[in-house]
């Protein structure tokens, strides 16, 4: 076990890294962050911020020499950097699992081979493969870039066969996946931790709503039948086992076709939909990330209150700063800001966790508190 007093490494300096650093320092660990951005949210609160590219040999050497173990806060760290670190220090999650999640073709193919239900899909690496995919994938569909897509970026709708070529061109003719757009009943996600010994600790299922491809709200407990919640949790655990995963894993799933579970994406890190754990659970996802990284026993998560998480996007800063007093006058509302200097439309600047006595009331409180930050509601239902 790696105990307090040790220094841990973090590849990536965004908000997920920041929340890990704060948790690690509260538990007595030092943290060294590698991120090229001088304004990195995680770098602001780390003991050491290495301002260098993720592939920089000297920075990686310093990280490996100074840290007892290294983890990641996003899946697009170069695999070669992780492999280099793995030669001399403990790296979790395993490089293989991160590599699978970096590439949609690899991810979807892994899930299909492992027997998990996914939306019908086909790889598209050329115009010829696009034509073949259109013969096998029912429309309407989404064309998604195989790498680097997130929060609705890197995807284009394909409503009719004649839309496909333009969509492929708009995405730069890079490797893609063409995927049937399911008629969704609900979107859910499960965040869990898995240790070296295969022990799994699962957080309660979250019910998610996205707007323009960006997660807007997560409600816990998910307002789904108990059998669906049980199956979602079990499915996420099987995904982690199939990956031989160690660390915190987010598994996004669709409920469609009369209650069937479809695995959509896997995230080899803490997940946006798991932020509710910071205020509503007996242990949060960042402490579990640390425990798995340091080979400590995992905690057993308990939900202490119904909760709704709502993301705060840069849109809220227009035309001026949010009215923060509106948050603090509402009982049960907890504010988390990420230390980002520049608000932009669609950029995640923070989130609210809103606790109430039922999931419905928690969601209503979250939307009310979010909308109260500006002079008038930013979204019309």
The candidate with the shortest Cα–Cα distance to 226, out of 214, 218, 234, is 234
pTM to 2 decimal places: 0.94
**Boundaries of every domain in the chain:** 7-91, 120-180, 184-372
**Other residues' Cβ atoms within 10 Å of the Cβ of residue 153:** 12
Cα angle 214, 175, 347; round to 5: 20
What percentage of the chain reaches a pLDDT higher than 70?
Answer: 97
- The mean pLDDT of 150-179, rounded to a whole number, is 89
Question: 18: part of which helix (H) or strand (E)?
Answer: helix 15-26
In this predicted model, what pLDDT tens digit does every residue of 174-194 receive, in sequence order? 999 999 999 999 999 999 999
CA distance 61 to 78: 15
Mean pLDDT across the chain, nearest whole number? 95
Tell me what the mean pLDDT of segment 36-56 comes to: 97
3-state secondary structure of 25: helix
Residue 166: alpha-carbon gap to chain centroid: 29
Taking residues 151-171, what's their average pLDDT? 88
Mean pLDDT across 374-380: 58
**301-330: pLDDT as tens digits:** 999 999 999 999 999 998 889 999 999 999
Q: What is the mean pLDDT of residues 19-32?
A: 98
Tell me the two tokens of residue 78. Answer: 């170069």
Token pair belonging to 132: 């073949």
CA of 126: how far to CAs of 102, 148, 173, 359, in Å?
20, 18, 7, 46
CATH code linked to domain 120-180: 3.30.1490.20
Measured over all CA atoms, what is the biggest interatomic distance in the chain, rounded to whole angstroms? 60
Provide the CATH number for the domain formed by 7-91 in this structure.
3.40.50.20
Residue 381: pLDDT band by 50, 70, 90 thresholds?
very low
CATH topology of domain 184-372: D-amino Acid Aminotransferase; Chain A, domain 1 (3.30.470)
Spatial CB neighbours of 84, under 8 Å, sequence gap ≥ 6:
57, 60, 64
Model confidence at 212, in pLDDT bands (50, 70, 90)? confident
């Amino acid at each position: 076990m790696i105990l307090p007093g040790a220094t841990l490494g973090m590849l990536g300096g965004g908000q997920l890294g920041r929340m890990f650093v704060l948790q690690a320092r509260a538990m007595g660990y030092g943290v060294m962050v590698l991120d090229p951005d001088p304004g990195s949210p995680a770098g602001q609160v780390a003991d050491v911020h290495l301002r260098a590219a993720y592939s920089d040999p000297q920075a990686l050497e310093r990280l490996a020499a100074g840290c007892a173990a290294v983890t990641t806060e996003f899946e697009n760290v170069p695999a070669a950097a992780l492999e280099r670190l793995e030669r001399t220090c403990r790296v979790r999650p395993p490089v293989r699992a991160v590599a699978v999640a970096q590439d949609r073709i690899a991810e979807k193919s892994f899930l299909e081979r492992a027997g998990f239900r996914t939306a019908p899909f086909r790889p598209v690496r050329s115009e010829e493969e696009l034509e073949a995919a259109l013969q096998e994938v029912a429309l309407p569909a989404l064309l998604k870039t195989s790498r680097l897509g997130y929060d609705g970026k890197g995807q284009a709708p394909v409503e009719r066969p004649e839309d496909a070529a333009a969509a492929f061109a708009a995405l730069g003719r890079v490797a893609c996946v063409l995927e049937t757009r399911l008629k969704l009943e609900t979107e859910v996600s499960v965040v869990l931790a898995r240790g070296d010994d295969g022990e799994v600790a699962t957080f309660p299922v979250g019910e998610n709503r996205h707007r323009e491809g960006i997660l807007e709200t997560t409600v816990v407990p998910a307002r789904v039948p108990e059998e669906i919640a049980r199956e979602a949790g079990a499915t996420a655990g099987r995904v982690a086992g199939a990956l031989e995963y160690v660390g915190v894993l987010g598994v996004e799933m669709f409920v469609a076709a009369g209650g069937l579970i479809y695995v959509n994406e896997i995230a080899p890190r803490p997940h946006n939909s798991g932020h509710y754990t910071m205020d509503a659970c007996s242990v949060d996802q960042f402490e579990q990330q640390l425990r798995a990284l340091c080979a400590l026993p995992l905690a057993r998560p308990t939900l202490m209150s119904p909760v709704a998480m709502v993301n705060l996007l840069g849109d809220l800063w227009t035309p001026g700063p949010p009215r923060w007093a509106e948050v603090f006058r509402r009982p049960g509302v907890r504010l988390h800001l990420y230390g980002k200097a520049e608000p932009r439309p669609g950029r995640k600047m923070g989130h609210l966790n809103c606790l109430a006595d039922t999931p419905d009331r928690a969601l209503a409180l979250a939307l009310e508190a979010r909308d109260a930050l500006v002079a008038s509601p930013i979204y019309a239902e």
